[in-house]
Amino acid sequence: MIVVMQRDSTQAHLEGVKGRIEGHGLKAQVSEGVERTVVGVLGQTYRELKDELELLPGVSEVVLISKPYKLSSREFKPEDTIVKVGDISIGGDEVVVMAGPCAVESEKQMLTTAWEVKKAGAHILRGGAFKPRSSPYSFRGMGVQGLQLLAKAREETGLPVITEVMSTEDVGMVAQYADILQIGSRNAQNFNLLDAVGKVRKPVMVKRGFAASYEEWLLAAEYVLSGGNSQVILCERGIRTFETATRFTLDLAAIPMIKNLSHLPIISDPSHSTGKTNLVPPMVLASVAAGAHGLIVEVHPDPATAMCDGAQALTFEIFNQTMGQLNDVAAALGRGRVKVAV
Amino acid sequence: MIVVMQRDSTQAHLEGVKGRIEGHGLKAQVSEGVERTVVGVLGQTYRELKDELELLPGVSEVVLISKPYKLSSREFKPEDTIVKVGDISIGGDEVVVMAGPCAVESEKQMLTTAWEVKKAGAHILRGGAFKPRSSPYSFRGMGVQGLQLLAKAREETGLPVITEVMSTEDVGMVAQYADILQIGSRNAQNFNLLDAVGKVRKPVMVKRGFAASYEEWLLAAEYVLSGGNSQVILCERGIRTFETATRFTLDLAAIPMIKNLSHLPIISDPSHSTGKTNLVPPMVLASVAAGAHGLIVEVHPDPATAMCDGAQALTFEIFNQTMGQLNDVAAALGRGRVKVAV
Amino acid sequence: MIVVMQRDSTQAHLEGVKGRIEGHGLKAQVSEGVERTVVGVLGQTYRELKDELELLPGVSEVVLISKPYKLSSREFKPEDTIVKVGDISIGGDEVVVMAGPCAVESEKQMLTTAWEVKKAGAHILRGGAFKPRSSPYSFRGMGVQGLQLLAKAREETGLPVITEVMSTEDVGMVAQYADILQIGSRNAQNFNLLDAVGKVRKPVMVKRGFAASYEEWLLAAEYVLSGGNSQVILCERGIRTFETATRFTLDLAAIPMIKNLSHLPIISDPSHSTGKTNLVPPMVLASVAAGAHGLIVEVHPDPATAMCDGAQALTFEIFNQTMGQLNDVAAALGRGRVKVAV
Amino acid sequence: MIVVMQRDSTQAHLEGVKGRIEGHGLKAQVSEGVERTVVGVLGQTYRELKDELELLPGVSEVVLISKPYKLSSREFKPEDTIVKVGDISIGGDEVVVMAGPCAVESEKQMLTTAWEVKKAGAHILRGGAFKPRSSPYSFRGMGVQGLQLLAKAREETGLPVITEVMSTEDVGMVAQYADILQIGSRNAQNFNLLDAVGKVRKPVMVKRGFAASYEEWLLAAEYVLSGGNSQVILCERGIRTFETATRFTLDLAAIPMIKNLSHLPIISDPSHSTGKTNLVPPMVLASVAAGAHGLIVEVHPDPATAMCDGAQALTFEIFNQTMGQLNDVAAALGRGRVKVAV
């Protein structure tokens, strides 16, 4: 922590700052620059101290130099975390693909989709049983019945399933059915929910809040990690910007950036970010080229009649083609895919 | 709902669109423009239909012309909603002021602050017992003990209290202690929580999500209203933009805009939006001039040692001065304040 | 300038950083913290040094602590700058109002508007002769003829005029006609144009780029000031955010913030920022309450037939009412208006 | 153009709207929906009409259904535009790479870089002679001397050159030296400059304004095209968002999106968007996978001593490695690169 003094601050101001710092058992180291005096704070600092020091007379600003997240940082754990789901490893060289409909709608829809995405090479089945919807009047998911259909699809196809949990009360139940719990973008700062999934012993995928900085996103992961659950996957799903022609703006630089800052696996969601079916295949390929550990893609037997987000769902045919291209790009970069016997 | 056809769409495409619309029991009305053909959809449309029609061949885009929120719209209820908290009316001409510390820290802190803000003319006491914090390592509030201290401060001073509820499990308990329940910005799309407070019979203040559009914000209110709770107050608290010198960007045009779109009372939070104590007084005055029904302001006996957000808290002295100016501006605009006997 | 070393940096890295700093004739002061080592750079630093040091091995980041603008900073010049236009002082207690149509359209339009806004209490006449338009097919202004009509309106009413200059070639000509030259939001980083108006001896109003940070905005002013022209006025006109219901988001916290950072006068443009006529009056009042030194407001004899931005122009009647309220708010805050004999 | 009436609008309001539309020689077609009445405007509409109609009593909003750009739209010209620079085709299957330093600094720097990027497979040499800089105190380029050094590098290596033009006065001179003129992000709405390069008979690369929507970007291109210059290349270079850990947010979905909306070639700038050297290679690969027609990449002999933007420049070695991977990804997607004899 560095305290930058105002240009016209006095010696008394400086003494006040030093006194405050030392009063907390920390050391103050003063540097007199040409333009300004700065005071380094040595010792175990904490975020609230910034506010306290910034309010002292003569202080211009306080600059934090430590990151507020620890367990999720690469400095804390230099080697990559690999999250295991059965035989599947998320976080290594191979590109892991999660695919399926936005919402679980019926047994037939889920089973058909599960078999088709498996045939195309997907490793994990996605499907929402609890759906966060902007409007209370939209379809909000089948609930526990949806979870049962996901479990049935897993039983039949062998594909592990990922599904969203929206509420602390539902965590136990969802964890019974799901192989990976998903925290959605709208709950990325629902701290009680993050606490709750921190106590579960199943992998958790933390989607980036659509207005979350990298730091806030890693702090969301920190909630889960500090709760005792080390199996965390991050998912870039687009951020809100001034551009409204796409649903969100997929921030692919987040992929290499997060890989620098953190040891956690990171995957990409080209479906929710773009919101447009024709933009999904190129963004799948770009995500792999950017180094994503995996993808989560919406696929539906008949996008036009989907009960949720049909405009961004791929047909089986397009998904299959896209998987072929994904394989080619992954191979060109020396990355294979997880081999799954079909 | 208006379907805009592509410029090169064919008669067969148009028939496909008409067929789909009529298949849902709706009427299709075709207009052939110079540049494009558009199809009006007449009847009770719904949002998912947009996705469905946009995926049909020959369709360029589908434009929604109805708003997705109903109960919160001024079209649905033209007259202003007045939320009553004891003798205090929120939503009328008088400017209602909620004030207090970011977090409840101790009995002494709460009682001192309650008496001081009351003396300065505040009507409602604020204080957080459950605190949403970006980092799991920050102070997260005193919990139920904090609620008890709020209740004690109410008992002594007569000021009603507003406090945040972060979790569905806590709604019942918080409702026992609080006069107004607050939904924070980070939970503005925590739909289960919005459902839960919709079943409570206490006023609810819905803060704008810091990346929420007006429409999403009114839909958050719609969750509460459609749950059966009509006592909803909106609170503008700043949005996230590219400008980082302030904590958020206070969007004061939201005040008159929301008053056009909705009948619900709207107040302003100059503390969390700016994050800087010296910006709070001018933003208090600007909020009143913009037409806000009220304000929520952070005040602390000693901001420098506050356990949370000290950098934006006013001292008693500054708060008192600001209340004086607020009164002058309100009077200049023909608005009084609620009279509360001190 | 502070160099933050990586947690795992070595003594050799540290020596490298020190060597580089000292090689530029600067001093390096090392602080060994619990978590990290930081190196203070003492002496006359410059922005490019940040890039240079950040690329050295072992460096995590380089933090700037000096502001890049000097002449526009309050530290450089503590007392407020007052820009004089004839008898009018911009930058003092009195609220200066600039009003008129978006574009000059005809003699009749200009003269009628000039007399009407003068009657309502405006001090300066605005009107665009050169119009920046997103589309090449929109009306782009009357050019020099427009300047002549502005001059005629000044002659008849005595109101000084402000008008936009868009091109370096036009600076001389516009300066002949205008009392204040306006740099529009889209040219806020047209550095050649800023250089050119820096050489003129007329006041210049620099609008904030709609995606400019406070720092970039003050640097735009710095171009003009460093060119030798000290008569600079700043104008907040809304920034681009994710909210599209208003044209831009008026950032009123910029008013007190800029007054802290700079000695230059700052005014507010509630017309372009909101883009909606019914939002303009409340934003006029909020701007005054926030402490703006003045306002620039669009007024048109018949907004519905305006050739440019009619949706945000006030009628004479609404402008007149708004001026009355503005006076009341200004008076409540102890601020008068410039007295102009009508 | 569609006029949406307010829910409580009267027959008189509707007549007013119809009258106004018909008064302009257009046809009004009324649709009475369940919730609202809408009026289609048939005939050659124009943008200003929106403002006019929105101000009429009883009107809720006016929705535009035509795009404001024409010449740049794919509807106007369905087949891809190929811009030819000597033997190089920009806009086809092959990935065209432009590389070189941010700023021209010396003969040695330019010649070394030109030879090295050519050896690595680049097709076009970049280098700034006129540099737009936020601060007036930063290095602003060598001017005409820089242009001469670019010409010399072309002479020696045979690489065509691209360089930025910042001012209308300089257009003629820059066009004498450059093979492609670049309009920078900060001048993306400098309409006089766009007009000026529209009259030149050299290819022009229009960078996206960092706060420009797709529509505004295509309108910037429209200025050039409507001036008579059909050789326009678009360049995505990152947009400004709330995330500040990267310099800008590279919006790669813009690549397929623009290819849908327009026939113009589109390339990607991973250097300015990320601002960090270690993010550039993955974003190069992601851009190719997303379908970009080309790339513009900063390369410098010694990034640490670059006079401009060193933090984002690649060394020769990293550039060479990245070109290898780029080739592999392009090949995997069935795209070759332009063959240039070295």
Residue A337 has a pLDDT of 59
Q: Which chains touch B (3 or more CB pairs under 8 A)?
A: A, C, D
Q: What is the largest CA-CA distance in chain D?
A: 77
Residue with the bigger pLDDT between A336 and A341: it is A336
Average pLDDT, chain A: 93
Residue A179 has a pLDDT of 98
Phi, psi of B309 (to 5 degrees): 55, 35
Instruction: For residue range D15-48, list pLDDT tens digits in order.
Output: 999 999 998 888 888 888 777 888 988 887 787 8
* Whole-angstrom distance, CA of residue A93 vs CA of residue C332: 67
Per the CB < 8 Å rule, is C51 touching D309? yes
Rounded (10°) CA dihedral C207, C212, C214, C217: -40
Residue B337 has a pLDDT of 59
Per the CB < 8 Å rule, is D211 touching C240? yes
Complex-level ipTM: 0.93
Per the CB < 8 Å rule, is D42 touching B35? no
Per the CB < 8 Å rule, is A253 touching D244? no
Contact B214, B189 (CB under 8 A): no
* Whole-angstrom distance, CA of residue A274 vs CA of residue A281: 11
Torsion A112-A118-A121-A124 (CA) sign: positive
- Kindly indicate the confidence band of residue D337, based on its pLDDT and cuts at 50, 70 and 90: low
Chain B closest-CA separation from residue C232 CA (Å): 22
* Residue B203 predicted with pLDDT over 60: yes
- Kindly indicate the confidence band of residue D339, based on its pLDDT and cuts at 50, 70 and 90: very low
* Residue A339 predicted with pLDDT over 70: no
Cβ burial of D5 (10 Å; 0-12, 13-18, 19+) is buried
Average pLDDT, chain C: 93
Name residues 211-240 of chain A within 8 A of C (Cβ): 240
Phi, psi of C319 (to 5 degrees): -60, -45
Per the CB < 8 Å rule, is B252 touching C283? yes
Report the DSSP pairing between strands A88-90 and A83-85: antiparallel
* Whole-angstrom distance, CA of residue A159 vs CA of residue A151: 9
Phi, psi of B21 (to 5 degrees): -65, -45
B145 shares contact with chain D (CB less than 8 Å): no
Percent of chain B past pLDDT 70, that is, above it, reads 98
Q: What would the CATH number be for the domain defined by B2-63? A: 3.30.70.1140
What 3-state class would DSSP assign to A128?
Answer: strand
Instruction: For residue range A237-251, list pLDDT tens digits in order.
Output: 999 999 999 999 999
Tell me how many degrees the CA angle D227-D230-D235 measures, rounded to the nearest 5.
105
Chain A closest-CA separation from residue D254 CA (Å): 9
C171 shares contact with chain D (CB less than 8 Å): no
Query: Which of B211, B279, B331 is facing C253, going by the closest CB pair?
Result: B279
Which residues on C lie below 8 Å from B283 (Cβ)? Answer: 252-253, 256, 290
- Name the residue of chain B whose CA is nearest to D9's CA: B75
Q: What is the mean pLDDT of residues D301-327?
A: 93
The structural domains of chain C, with segments of one domain joined by +, span 2-63, 83-332
Query: Which of B132, B192, B219 is facing A135, going by the closest CB pair?
Result: B219
Among B69, B74, B249, B271, pick the best mutation site for testing chain C contact (most C Cβ within 10 A).
B249
B328 shares contact with chain C (CB less than 8 Å): yes
Percent of chain A past pLDDT 90, that is, above it, reads 78
- Kindly indicate the confidence band of residue C337, based on its pLDDT and cuts at 50, 70 and 90: low
- Kindly indicate the confidence band of residue B7, based on its pLDDT and cuts at 50, 70 and 90: confident
pTM of the model: 0.94
Which residues on B lie below 8 Å from A16 (Cβ)? Answer: none
Tell me how many degrees the CA angle A10-A15-A18 measures, rounded to the nearest 5.
130
Query: Which of B253, B274, B276 is facing C283, going by the closest CB pair?
Result: B253
- Kindly indicate the confidence band of residue A341, based on its pLDDT and cuts at 50, 70 and 90: very low
Q: What is the mean pLDDT of residues B198-211?
A: 97
* Whole-angstrom distance, CA of residue D29 vs CA of residue B47: 25
Instruction: For residue range D238-250, list pLDDT tens digits in order.
Output: 999 999 999 999 9
Percent of chain C past pLDDT 90, that is, above it, reads 78
* Whole-angstrom distance, CA of residue A191 vs CA of residue C173: 61
- Kindly indicate the confidence band of residue D210, based on its pLDDT and cuts at 50, 70 and 90: very high
Instruction: For residue range C64-92, list pLDDT tens digits in order.
Output: 887 889 999 998 999 999 999 999 999 99
* Whole-angstrom distance, CA of residue A340 vs CA of residue A87: 9
Which residues on C lie below 8 Å from D17 (Cβ)? Answer: none
Instruction: For residue range B124-151, list pLDDT tens digits in order.
Output: 999 999 999 999 988 899 999 999 999 9
With residue A114 as reference, give the H or E element that holds it.
helix A107-120
Q: What is the mean pLDDT of residues C296-308?
A: 93
* Whole-angstrom distance, CA of residue B335 vs CA of residue D338: 72
Q: What is the mean pLDDT of residues B289-297?
A: 98
Instruction: For residue range A22-63, list pLDDT tens digits in order.
Output: 988 888 888 887 778 889 888 877 878 888 898 889 998 888
Nearest to B187 by CA among B170, B201, B208, B204: B208
Per the CB < 8 Å rule, is C48 touching D139? yes
Per the CB < 8 Å rule, is A42 touching C31? yes
A52 shares contact with chain B (CB less than 8 Å): yes
B33 shares contact with chain D (CB less than 8 Å): yes
Q: What is the mean pLDDT of residues C42-47?
A: 80
Query: Which of C47, C168, C190 is facing D138, going by the closest CB pair?
Result: C47
* Whole-angstrom distance, CA of residue B81 vs CA of residue B72: 10
Residue A180 has a pLDDT of 98
| CA distance readout (Å), C171 to C174, C176, C193, D183 | 5, 9, 8, 21
Report the DSSP pairing between strands B37-42 and B27-32: antiparallel
β strands within C18-100, DSSP E? 27-32, 37-42, 59-63, 83-85, 88-90, 96-100
Instruction: For residue range A161-217, list pLDDT tens digits in order.
Output: 999 999 999 999 999 999 999 999 999 999 999 999 999 999 999 999 999 999 999
Query: Which of D68, D69, D134 is facing C216, going by the closest CB pair?
Result: D134
- Kindly indicate the confidence band of residue D340, based on its pLDDT and cuts at 50, 70 and 90: very low
- Name the residue of chain C whose CA is nearest to A76's CA: C7
Number of CB pairs < 8 Å for B and D?
A: 62
A66 shares contact with chain C (CB less than 8 Å): yes
Which residues on B lie below 8 Å from C285 (Cβ)? Answer: 289-290, 333
A210 shares contact with chain B (CB less than 8 Å): yes
Chain D closest-CA separation from residue C228 CA (Å): 12
B244 shares contact with chain A (CB less than 8 Å): no
Among B5, B242, B244, pick the best mutation site for testing chain D contact (most D Cβ within 10 A).
B242
D137 shares contact with chain A (CB less than 8 Å): no
B36 shares contact with chain D (CB less than 8 Å): yes
Weakest-pLDDT range from A126-130, B72-76, D268-272: B72-76
With a CB cutoff of 8 Å and minimum separation 6, the contacts of D78 are D263
D304 shares contact with chain C (CB less than 8 Å): yes
Contact C299, C100 (CB under 8 A): yes
Q: Which phi-psi region, left, alpha or beta, contains residue B261 (left: φ > 0; alpha: ψ -120 to 50)?
A: alpha
Q: Which chains touch A (3 or more CB pairs under 8 A)?
A: B, C, D
D2 shares contact with chain B (CB less than 8 Å): yes
C40 shares contact with chain A (CB less than 8 Å): yes
Residue B339 has a pLDDT of 46
Tell me how many degrees the CA angle D320-D326-D330 measures, rounded to the nearest 5.
150
* Residue D336 predicted with pLDDT over 80: no
Q: What would the CATH number be for the domain defined by C83-332? A: 3.20.20.70
Which residues on C lie below 8 Å from A34 (Cβ)? Answer: 42-44
* Whole-angstrom distance, CA of residue C236 vs CA of residue C206: 9
Per the CB < 8 Å rule, is A252 touching D289? no
* Whole-angstrom distance, CA of residue A124 vs CA of residue A280: 18
A54 shares contact with chain B (CB less than 8 Å): yes
A246 shares contact with chain B (CB less than 8 Å): no
Name residues 70-129 of chain B within 8 A of A (Cβ): none
* Residue D319 predicted with pLDDT over 90: yes
Instruction: For residue range A95-107, list pLDDT tens digits in order.
Output: 999 999 999 999 9
Q: What is the mean pLDDT of residues C283-299?
A: 98
* Residue C158 predicted with pLDDT over 80: yes
Residue B279 has a pLDDT of 97
Query: Which of A33, A242, A244 is facing C42, going by the closest CB pair?
Result: A33
Name residues 259-288 of chain C within 8 A of D (Cβ): 277
Contact B62, B53 (CB under 8 A): yes
Number of CB pairs < 8 Å for B and C?
A: 122
Residue C250 has a pLDDT of 98
Chain A closest-CA separation from residue D280 CA (Å): 9
Average pLDDT, chain B: 93
With a CB cutoff of 8 Å and minimum separation 6, the contacts of B67 are B73, B75, B215, B218, B261
